[in-house]
Chain A
Amino acid sequence: MSARQNLSPKLAFVVLLWVCAFTLPWTIQAFLCVLLIIGRFAIPALRPGSPRSARAFSRFILYSIAVATLVSILNAALIREGAIVANIFGISLHQGGLLFGARTASRLLLLSFSILLFFVSTPLPDFIQYLQEKGLPPYLALMLLLTLHFLDQLPIRIHQIFLAQQARGAPVDSGMLARTKALFSILSPLVLSSIVESIERGTALELRGFLHKPQPVKHGGSHMDWLTLLVLSLAIVILSYSIVQWLIG
């Protein structure tokens, strides 16, 4: 049986990154995003748990960078502040708008990268068990479990429905417009089957006494380890410094 990860430092790290996303300058946030992408390969605790997770994270990085670039360009075109930095097809891009777009994009990227990297590198069983050990009530654990299962199974389910629609002759692979139209026919069975499966899985868990659990089974100490304390302390220092800076103007 593989050893379970200690999730406290990792969660503290996510908290630290969220604090950074709301307090630090956008250049540092962008730098942290790059560090996270490097960390996904270099730090064992941040490595995706499966090839599917790794693919999903890589795709998300590509799409989100494309969206961030688009957001920055749109802002640069729409917010006409500062000097003109470029002119594309007769549309002027302004420095003020570009900076605003970069700030927004870097913040969103840092928030999404940190949370996504946590989930792709943390096995769902470990996360639920960790929360239960920390005293999460069984009802909340059940709800969270079903939701995360739903998200985990979503791509597989979409693919299955897509294949089923294709087998029944639906024009789902004949161009972008047809695929977009097919999305609507996928949504209905997707939602219905997900609800049914959530009910079934919830019932199965109840039938195995998930909600009757007498007490959490402790696998580790209840005290915080030094790394968690260090990371959380750093988050508090950054937050406090930002609040003081904001108060003194």
Chain B
Amino acid sequence: MADRIAISSFSLQYSPSAPRVLSSISLEIAGGTCCAILGPTGAGKTSLLHCLSGIMRRHHPEAVSSGHLQIGERFFDELPTQILFPTVGLTLQDPHVQISGVRDTVFGEVLFTLENTGMVPENPSGDPACCTGHNPCGSTTGLIA
């Protein structure tokens, strides 16, 4: 887990000719703390999180930024070009797309991420109630992610 996130004078435009969606943001979040970013619709909350997770460059290759990002021990003068898994975790807004479709139970979905990180236990076993939980609801899918 990244022990510190620091953003300094960070600005973002979706393209060089587009208006700034983030303008000179500076903040620092210490490791082990919980931070809420609040703002009206269109304020740039999701854009900021997409920048921090590395999604922004993948979805908007023409996006331009200025300022600096620090996530743990990694420093970025430009938007990260790769999704920063497993350093950064992110739950997207629509809970129903969080389910991979590769597994059909809650337990299988949790195991799915462990498999991807090479951390599969020898004999994976889970709570039987969890194992049989087909079609989890929105809040559960958020937790899985």
Contacts and interface: CB of A to CB of B under 8 A. Distances in A.
Interface of A: 1-2, 123-125, 128-129, 145, 148-149, 197, 199-201, 203-210, 212-215, 217
A217 B113 contact: no
Contacts of B132: 1
B97 A201 contact: yes
Contacts of B120: 217
A125 B108 contact: yes
23 contacts: A1-B131, A1-B132, A2-B104, A125-B101, A125-B103, A145-B102, A149-B101, A197-B94, A200-B92, A201-B97, A203-B58, A203-B59, A203-B83, A204-B100, A204-B145, A208-B85, A208-B116, A209-B85, A209-B116, A210-B100, A210-B116, A212-B86, A213-B116
Contacts of B51: none
A1 B107 contact: yes
Q: Which of B102, B108, B132 has the most CB of A within 10 A?
A: B102
Given A1-B107, A125-B108, A200-B97, A207 B116 contact: no
Contacts of A206: 58, 83, 85
Interface string B92-135: 10100110111111011000110111101000000000011000
Contact of B85 (A148, A201, A207): A207
Nearest to A128: B102
A69 to B, nearest CB: 37
B89 interface: yes
B25 interface: no
Contact of A1 (B58, B108, B112): B108
Contacts of A209: 85-86, 113, 116-117
A214 B85 CA distance: 13
A208 B145 contact: yes
Contacts of B112: 208
Q: Which of B59, B112, B120 has the most CB of A within 10 A?
A: B112
B102 A207 contact: no
B107 to A, nearest CB: 7
B53 interface: yes
Given A1-B131, A212-B116, A214-B118, A207 B90 contact: yes
A197 B85 contact: no
Contacts of A204: 92, 97-98, 100, 145
B37 to A, nearest CB: 18
Nearest to B107: A1
Given A1-B105, A145-B100, A213-B115, 15 more contacts: A125-B101, A125-B104, A149-B101, A204-B98, A205-B100, A206-B85, A207-B53, A208-B85, A208-B100, A208-B116, A209-B85, A209-B116, A212-B85, A214-B116, A214-B117
A48 B42 CA distance: 45
A224 to B, nearest CB: 24
A213 B115 CA distance: 7
